[in-house]
Amino acid sequence: MPLHSGVGTKMSLKQIFLLLISTLALASFANAFYVGYTDSDFYFEIYSGENYGFVDVPYSYYYEDWYYFDYPYRVNYFGNYYYYEPGWYQYSPSYWNYDPYAYSYYATDYYFYGGAWTYYPGWTTVYAPTYYGHYYYPPVYFYNTFTVGAPYDYPQEASCSELSINANNVSIEAGKTKTVEVSVFNDSRKNFKVNSVNVHIDGFEVTAKNIEFSETIYSKFSGKVQFELAAEEGSPSKELEAEVRINGEFADSTNCSGKDASDTFTINIKGNEATPATGSINSGNSAASQFETNYSTSFIVPRENSWREVASTETIPNTNDFPTRNSLQLGSLTFEPLKGNCNGIGLVVEPLSVKAKEARQRDFYLKNFSNADFIIDSVTATEAESFFSISAERIDSMVYSDNMARVRVHLLGGNTAEDEVGKARLTVKGHFDSGISCTESKEFEVYVDASFVAAGPEKFELTVPEKAELNGSGFVRIKADNPSNETAVIRMDAGNAIVSPSSITVGPRSLVERVIAVNGFDSDEELLVYSIEIPGALHSQKYTKLVKISEEAGSEGGIKLLSYTSMVEIKNGKGVLSVVVENNSGKAEEVKVRLTDLPQGFTADSSTVELSPRERRTVALQLESENEKGNFNAVLLVESESRVFRRNIELVVVEAEEQQEGQGVVEGLVGTAFAVLEDNALGIALGFVILVILILLYKIVSIDKRIIKKEHTWISYRNQ
């Protein structure tokens, strides 16, 4: 007796698979109708707090398909990041969550209203609440959308304590003028607008004038304040306390007064005191001193000595082996000059600053408080860091008693990308006529200001494609690497075509990737010119050759691209790209299939076939890769007399492993699924993949049933 499966009382396995296949197919088509408007294969991250972070609403304003971003942001698209600066961006189609590539751009100083663009810096605090009526708040640690009416009370993000003001001590000679620079770093997440700067000096000998400052100090960037100090002629040697006070406002309306944003520094005045030329000192109870001089006179009191009160009749023994002058008695006060010993030698130094890659020199002074002349034998300067070099020379060979001598220091700033501070030491060796040798050594700080590094074209790297094939309009992706401390500007021009944005700014020490939109391209060929402008460097240019591809709609009877493998997996260095084309015309047509824009390390076949009228054919291109692992991109071109098709292809190189039987068939079907349903690939193609698997299972079950049926028939026949 043959075995029975119970058909009629229970649903067969074959019917279950058919039902599942039908249900899945219906779900896939429903998904195709819906997912395209709600799902997304990418997400946005906002730059804030020195990090990028995901936010639900990354833009600040939305108006007529334009999105305004307050912060730098990036788009994560299938694991690849694309970086953008603050400003207005438009995405096409108008549903911005369709496409991760921005098509058009306007800078932050413009606002859009009534179909027109207006240049108005600071419009966000003037027109935005009125024109747009709502404000989306995008910082990393806020995940909700704020919808409010005008006027809007902005949440406070910035604090005055986030302004770092660095004013260094200054030395100035009497009767001289000196330019002083003070750096201001904005560590907040908001731009800071400087309204005014005051320089307060606690004294009348020095005045500040010609104060200049950066009007806006952008978030995470430095600005500067510059002014001149003028010391009066005849000013004595003294130190004055000074303070730089900055008044301004952050973009979130946080106000900072001078008491909130300030820094103090010391002004060291080197006076015009002169050593008396001739004169005599009469010791005794009277202090009669007569000098023939045109200058005011004073006695320099060394730091190592002090005035002492003694009785008028007391005498102080003179222990100087080489007496050259008498002790001085003024009433009850007696001062004994230092003898010819090392305690009377003092070196006066101060911090130095130098611009990177520049040289400067400065004179320091060696004071001799003793009553004997000091002979300078050698002067040396040593550095403890690698970002600057220093040397010294003697200008005066002798320091006369109660006088000073000059020691000149030569400083060279190194090629550093960041501001640095280090230590240097100045050493002076010499002797007295008595044979006593002395060594005086002092350490001081050296500041190297890297903000003045001139970034030449050899430092700035701009990576652009050699050629781009466009169909009236399209996109070109560029990458700029600016390791210097200068802001670079890239200006782009493509003849009669419209380039958007027409310029981009690359900040100091930053890496930028941008997608450039080219519209209105109606020439056969044109050059897209990139002009690189960097302060202090020669301008340079790079080019991308734009080539027009005519992709006409064609008639109903033209060549059709039915399907292609959008993702090709490369295993063991080899892969296959399948393309299905059909000729719907009434005449034979020649079709050429090839890959362009192949990454380095890839090779691919090209194929030219002739299709008869109504003929459909599958064209397979063999690919080889020397790359070990990674994701790469290429472009598929299908060209005929009537049509030209251009499609993006993803090449996935995986680690070498043994191919499993039947695996290539399924992978080809999966890849074709994504290609056929390219607009709604994520949701629809997943359903298609599951559908393919069910079909394969259905085939296997059908084969198994036929085998079982044959076996049962053979057994039944033998039993007869």
* Contact predicate 159/249, CB 8 Å: no
Cα 280–Cα 282–Cα 287 angle in degrees, nearest 5: 110
pLDDT at 32 over 50: no
SS3 string, 594-634, reads EEECCCCCEEECCEEEEECCCCEEEEEEEEEECCCCEEEEE
In this prediction the pTM is 0.26
Q: What is the mean pLDDT of residues 513-541?
A: 81
Give the tens place of pLDDT for each residue, 282-334: 333 333 333 333 333 333 333 333 333 333 333 333 333 333 333 334 333 34
Check the CA dihedral 463-99-507-474 and report its sign. positive
- Written as one letter, the residue type at 673 is A
Question: CATH assignment of 159-274, given 3.40.50.300, 2.60.40.10, 1.25.40.10, 2.70.98.10?
Answer: 2.60.40.10
CATH 2.60.40.10 in the chain: give the residue spans: 159-274, 461-548, 559-663
- Residue 265 banded pLDDT, cuts 50, 70, 90: very high
- Residue 561 banded pLDDT, cuts 50, 70, 90: confident
- Written as one letter, the residue type at 434 is S
Place of tokens 């001799």: 368
DSSP 250-264: ETTS-EE-TTTSEEE
Q: Which residues contact 460 (CB under 8 A, 6 or more apart)?
A: 480, 481, 482, 483, 484, 488, 506, 532, 534, 537
Cα 672–Cα 674–Cα 676 angle in degrees, nearest 5: 65
Measured between its terminal Cα atoms, the distance across the chain in Å is: 10
3-state secondary structure of 715: helix
Q: Which two tokens stand for residue 491?
A: 């200006």
- Residue 336 banded pLDDT, cuts 50, 70, 90: very low
Partnered with residue 408 across adjacent β-strands are 363, 393
CATH topology for 559-663 is Immunoglobulin-like (2.60.40)
pLDDT at 174 over 80: yes
Q: What percent of the chain has pLDDT over 70?
A: 66
* Contact predicate 621/579, CB 8 Å: yes
In angstroms and rounded to an integer, the radius of gyration of the C-alpha atoms of the chain is 41
CATH topology for 461-548 is Immunoglobulin-like (2.60.40)
- Torsion, Cα 276 280 281 284, to 10 degrees, reads -160
State phi, psi for 550 to the nearest 5 degrees.
Answer: -90, 105
- Please state, in angstroms and rounded to a whole number, the distance separating the CA atoms of residues 607 and 619: 7
User: Which tops the pLDDT comparison, 568 or 549?
Assistant: 568
Give the tens place of pLDDT for each residue, 87-132: 888 765 444 444 566 667 777 888 888 777 788 887 877 777 677 7
Q: Look at 16-20, 362-366, 422-426, 672-676 and tell me which has the smallest mean pLDDT.
A: 672-676
- Residue 703 banded pLDDT, cuts 50, 70, 90: low
Place of tokens 């057994």: 715
Q: What is the mean pLDDT of residues 703-710?
A: 47
Q: What is the mean pLDDT of residues 134-147?
A: 39
Instruction: Give the pLDDT of residue 681.
Output: 44
From residue 579, alpha-carbon distances to 617, 636, 647, 650, 653 in Å are 8, 9, 11, 14, 20
Instruction: Give the pLDDT of residue 38.
Output: 32
Instruction: Give the pLDDT of residue 686.
Output: 59
Give the tens place of pLDDT for each residue, 355-397: 877 788 888 988 888 888 889 988 888 887 777 888 888 888 8
From residue 560, alpha-carbon distances to 63, 179, 556, 557, 607 in Å are 39, 73, 9, 9, 16
